[in-house]
Amino acid sequence: MKYAYMDSNDPAKPQYEIRVKAVLDNPKQMLNYAPLFADFGQIAKGAKAERTIKLTNNNPFDVKLVVIDSPDQKYVSKYKIKDTELKSGESTEIVFTLADNIHSGIFYTSITLEGEGKPETRISITIKGVTIG
């Protein structure tokens, strides 16, 4: 558990405490992926680039992957899930292609997936980078 403090102009409560707790790379997660981010790092504006994430089905049952929320197309021009139907223990790859005309600076987007009809398997993968030029 981590804490953040926020100042307020309320004289009765001049400061608020915000508690933050997160689990990253949960070993009990039903769909695991590596690396934890699709990180494009620093890349020249207009350069062609792809990043690959390996996704593994740790469920005791088969899943059909469905995309709940796609990455923002102004950052990722396309993505491809090599195999959307995974048996227990099987893996696939997701390949992200960087968009051609991203603005210079930091960018973040994400993709959210789950096993069809199994919301408890839902995951979101962050896609990030810095465009220079």
The pLDDT tens digits of the residues spanning 12-67 come to 888 888 887 766 656 667 899 999 999 999 999 889 999 999 999 998 999 999 99
* Torsion sign across C-alpha atoms 94, 97, 103, 106: positive
Enter the CATH code of domain 26-132: 2.60.40.10
Distances (CA, A) of 57 to 15, 61, 127: 44, 9, 20
Tokens coding 129: 């980078």
Cis peptide leading into 27, omega within 30 of 0? Answer: no
**Mind listing the pLDDT tens digit for each residue in 92-110?**
999 999 998 888 999 999 9
